[in-house]
Amino acid sequence: MKSLVGILVVCVLSILIYRFYLVKSLPQDSGATPAQTIDVVGVKNDLLAMAQAERTYQAEHASYASMDQLVSSGALTMAKAGRAGYSYEVQASDSSFQVTARCSNTAQACTSYAIDPSMEVKSLP
């Protein structure tokens, strides 16, 4: 009988831990569909890849480059200049760069993103 009570106590504690710690750590529903969430993750990964390509190009040429220069130099291999309602734009100078993913989908609300040499993807207003 004691072992049955012990198992019940462990089960109740496990459920409470799951409920209060794990469920709260899950992302809150932002109203986005799973496909939209996947597209946003893809856009953020593309931005990180482009920023890494900028770093590679800068190490080899001592300046940052436009999107065309990144592709022609081989630092960036992208098949498309956008993804699922987003278009990419690179603004580069000798000392800095900013890669922007602009949301061009007017049918639904979406957020534009940017990355700079800090390698942090930021939401744009």
Instruction: Give me the number of domains the chain comprises.
Output: 1
Place of tokens 């890849």: 49
% of the chain surpassing 70 pLDDT? 86
- Give the per-residue pLDDT at 114: 93
The boundaries of the domain holding residue 83 are: 32-124
Quick check: is 45 in a domain? yes
Radius of gyration of the chain (CA): 22
pLDDT higher for 72 or 1? 72
Residue 42: pLDDT band (50, 70, 90) is confident
Q: Residue 115: beta bridge partners? A: 99
> Mean pLDDT, to the nearest integer, of 83-106?
85
Which of 22-26, 43-47, 71-75 has the highest average model confidence (pLDDT)?
43-47
Query: Which one has a higher pLDDT value, 118 or 68?
Result: 118
Q: How far apart are the C-alpha atoms of 59 and 76, rounded to whole Å?
A: 14
Does residue 6 surpass a pLDDT of 80?
yes
* pTM for this predicted structure: 0.70
DSSP secondary structure code for residue 29 in this structure: P
Rounded to whole angstroms, the Cα distance separating 17 from 7 reads 15
Per-position DSSP letters for 37-103, written without gaps between them:
HHHHHHHHHHHHHHHHHHHHHHHHHSS---HHHHHHHTS---S-SEETTEEEEEEE-SS-EEEEEEE
Mean pLDDT (whole number) for 95-111: 81
In a domain, 103, yes or no: yes
